[in-house]
Amino acid sequence: MTDIAAAAAVPQISPAADARLMLAAAARWRWWEFAVWIAALAAIVVFPRNLLLLNEIAILALFALSLDLILGFAGIVSLGHAAFFGVGAYAAGLLGKFGYGDPFLGLAAAAAVAAVLGFATSFLLLRGSDLTRLMVTLGIALMLLELANREAWLTGGADGLQGVTIGPVLGLFDFDLSGRTAYLYSLGVLFVLFLLARRIIHSPFGLSLRAVKQNPLRARAIGISVAVRLVAIYTLSAAFAGVAGALSAQTTQYVSLEVFDFIRSADVMLVLVLGGVGYLYGGIFGALIFKLMQDYLSAITPQYWQFWIGLVLVILVLAGRERIGAQLTRLFAPLLRWRRA
Amino acid sequence: MTVALETRNLVKRFGGLVATDDVSIAFQKGVRYALIGPNGAGKTTLINLLTGVLRPTGGAVILEGADITGMAPHRRVQNGLARTFQINQLFPEMTPLQTVGLAVSERQGHGREWWRLAGGKREVIDEAAAILERFGLTDVMGAETKVLPYGKQRLLEIAVAIACRPRVLLLDEPAAGVPEEERHEILDIVGGLPDDVTILLIEHDMDLVFSFAQRIAVLVNGGLFMEGAAKDIAADPRVREVYLGEGGHG
Ligand SMILES: Nc1ncnc2c1ncn2[C@@H]1O[C@H](COP(=O)(O)OP(=O)(O)OP(=O)(O)O)[C@@H](O)[C@H]1O
Ligand SMILES: [Mg+2]
């Protein structure tokens, strides 16, 4: 931030140099980003009893991040993102069941299978309105759910996939009951994929996605192939979701039909909207809020906790995040001034 | 003379309405054209057919000798055909720098590079900065497009098209909504493009048309009424009657 201020203070700087600084500044790490990741790591020490919950949060965050890639950065709505989570989970689970329990092998396989499914189905989403896309994605997830249900010889059907054995991470760290390895593993994978996503959205390709989202007519008129870009990001998003599914299968050593459930697709959308769409951290904050609320509320009102999540969602969407954000900023402004002074 | 862009018996129907009626016209390389005609004559429709935004009902579009009738819009741009829109088509939440930079980077073939930070290529930034400077957009290049005043947005609309470095440039009323005194400035920048660039300008302001165009095509009810040297068109009694005679335009 100080660099931008310094650049602005030198008026004689050439426009090109100025432009370079401006673009570089957009991709620079902010202080709070470091804080997020340090806090995520510190959580191991601070909340040693809640590592299983933290693991779930990390996985949900990755899943929501994958949705953010298409929804936040390319404007593709989906109500069937669980399709990719599910195939990723089954890919990793089946590998583990049939003796290929290396965690990273499972992740790679899950990413590949989900990417192939994403690539193949992306062509169904190129044309059509948001409503079409919602229905097509919903339909695909439903079909996969039925398929997994019917092919019980492979998936275990309604009983779930049992007997999944996952080897130690890097051949060293066994998955323990406390969830310590699981959380570190999931967090590490989340972090690496987050870095990749961050890199991509600040690349020329990422910029072109935003262009496609904001005005496809103009995007085409500067020579961008809208279809190719959408297929690419959808495939990548599917791979991310597949990895999230694989993490879930590996750390719980179990896969049930619920991985394809409509509720999962709807929840991840909810999580992303809770956390905010289109700035990469929405999935992480959303997953945190969602899981904590779920954990806390379901302890006091086991049946009705979703009511409160629903209420928060409605308020958030109707009142608008910006307005709430502005109110909060006003509330905390004296504090910020004090911090700067 | 070589033909840069050509239409052959181009037809576009919207239901019963014939918006483009059997238009055959050839635009010579490096010549500055104006396309005039009353409101609803089919000028924008013609541009949409040329750029592939609309598919023609019949006929063909030929760019530098190649039939591009079925070519996707973005491929036409890559083949040197760029346009501006009558109503601004911009990226509201991107800055002029990002917008022009993106157009330059796409043209230079960096658009699919996902591993590199945008803004890292010197040749992209330098060219984008030069274009922004030429259009007087340097001081606002870091502001979101949606907060810019209309005049600046209009300039950006043209700057983006020029960033595609077209060999044929189609301008759909670029000066519309721009204050009288700034209109000539816009067309001066456009007129300052290299001599081998073919330009087709849609414009209702006859002063601008005659100061800019070497040749003029007149469109009436979707059909090509006539095409010729600017002074011949200005002198033609029939054109005066159907178009100029209407006493300016609303
Ligand atoms: N997408 C469309 N669907 C139906 N009719 C259309 C469509 N686009 C244009 N038209 C009709 O085609 C005719 C030509 O329209 P066009 O926009 O090409 O005229 P124009 O010469 O550009 O007019 P102006 O000077 O007002 O911009 C008009 O009657 C218009 O209503
Ligand atoms: Mg028009």
Among residues B122, B143, B165, the one where a domain terminates is B165
Supply the pLDDT for residue B249.
45
Which of A230-239, B47-56, B224-233 is the least confident region? B224-233
**For residues B53 and B86, what is the distance between their CA atoms, to the nearest angstrom?**
13
B-chain residues near A202 (CB < 8 A)? 117-118
pLDDT in tens, chain A (341 residues): 445 444 444 445 687 788 888 887 788 898 999 999 999 999 999 988 889 999 999 999 999 999 999 999 999 999 999 999 999 999 999 998 888 888 999 999 999 999 999 999 999 988 878 899 999 999 999 999 999 999 888 888 888 888 888 878 787 778 787 888 999 999 999 999 999 999 999 999 999 999 999 999 999 999 999 999 999 999 999 999 999 999 999 999 999 999 999 999 999 999 998 888 888 999 999 999 999 988 888 888 777 777 887 888 788 778 766 666 666 666 666 655 555 54
- Residue B245 shares a structural domain with residue B172: yes
Same structural domain for residues B63 and B117?
no
**Does an H or E element contain A275, and which?**
helix A262-275
Give B37 Cα–ligand 1 centroid separation in angstroms: 12
Enumerate the residues of chain B whose CB falls inside 8 A of the CB of residue A225. Answer: 72, 74-75
Q: What is the pLDDT of residue A226?
A: 93
| pLDDT reported for residue A319 | 75
Please tell me whether residues B52 and B100 are part of one structural domain: no
With an 8 Å Cβ cutoff, are B93 and A23 in contact?
no
pLDDT at A311: 83
pLDDT score at A2: 45
Q: Hey, are the CB atoms on A15 and B138 less than 8 Å from each other?
A: yes
Residue range of the domain that includes B139: 89-165
The Cα–Cα gap between A216 and A308 comes to 38
Q: What ipTM was assigned to the predicted interfaces of this complex?
A: 0.91
Q: Is the pLDDT of residue B50 over 60?
A: yes
Do residues B226 and B171 share a domain? yes
Q: How many residues does chain A have?
A: 341
The domain ranges of chain A are 18-24+31-300
Confidence bin at B213 (pLDDT 50/70/90): very high
Around Cβ A283, how many Cβ atoms within 10 Å?
Answer: 32
Inspect the interface and report whether the beta carbons of B111 and A223 lie closer than 8 Å.
yes
Residues B72, B176 share a domain? yes
Kindly give the distance from the C-alpha atom of residue A323 to the centroid of ligand 1, in angstroms, as a whole number: 40
Please give the Cα distance from A84 to A259 (Å, whole number): 9
Residue of B nearest to A206 (CA): B114
- B160 plus B182 within the same structural domain: no
For residues B65 and B171, state if they share a domain.
Answer: yes
Chain B nearest CA to A256, separation (Å): 35
Residue/partner pairs of B145-148 with CB below 8 Å, 24 or more apart: B145/B90, B145/B91, B145/B92, B145/B93, B145/B94, B145/B95, B145/B96, B145/B99, B146/B92, B146/B93, B148/B96
Count: domains in chain B: 2
- Domain-ending residue, one of B139, B165, B191: B165
Q: Is B64 found in the same domain as B1?
A: yes
| pLDDT for res A322 | 65
**What sign for the dihedral angle of Cα A330, A333, A335, A336?**
positive
Ligand 1 lining (C-beta closer than 6 Å): B 14, 17, 19, 37, 39-45, 86
The pLDDT value recorded for residue A71 is 94
Look at the domain A18-24+31-300 and name its fold: ABC transporter involved in vitamin B12 uptake, BtuC (1.10.3470)
Q: Cβ distance B106 to A208 under 8 Å?
A: yes
Nearest-atom number in ligand 1 for the CA of B249 is: 25
Residue A199, classified by CB atoms within 10 Å of its CB into exposed (0-12), middle (13-18) or buried (19+), is middle
Residues B119 and B215 in one domain: no
pLDDT at position B178 over 90: no
Instruction: Give the model's pLDDT for residue A328.
Output: 64
**In this structure, are B180 and B250 located in the same domain?**
yes
Q: Report CB contact under 8 Å: B74, A27.
A: no
Q: Cα B167 from chain centroid? A: 11
Nearest Cα residue in chain B from A223: B74
Model confidence at B203: pLDDT above 80 = yes
**Out of B72, B94, B125, whose CB is closest to A210?**
B94
Smallest Cα–Cα separation from A203: which of B106, B93, B90?
B106
Looking at B165, B193, B222, the residue that finishes a domain is B165
Express each pLDDT in B59-78 by its tens digit: 999 999 999 999 999 999 99
pLDDT confidence bin for B151, thresholds 50/70/90: confident
* Nearest chain B CA: its distance from A29 CA (Å): 13
> How does DSSP classify residue B244?
G
Choose from B102, B122, B158 for mutation: most chain A CBs within 10 A.
B102
CATH number for the domain that contains residue B20: 3.40.50.300
pLDDT on residue A101:
83
Range with top average pLDDT, A276-280, B148-152, B160-164:
B160-164
Q: Please return the burial class of A338, using the count of CB atoms within 10 Å of its CB with bins 0-12, 13-18 and 19+.
A: exposed
Reading the block at residue A227, the tokens are: 């279809």
> Nearest residue on chain B to A27, judged by CA atoms?
B117
The reply to whether B95 and B43 lie within a common domain is no
Burial A72-100 (b: 16+ CB within 10 A, else e): bbbbbbbbbbbbbbbbbbbbbbbbbbeee
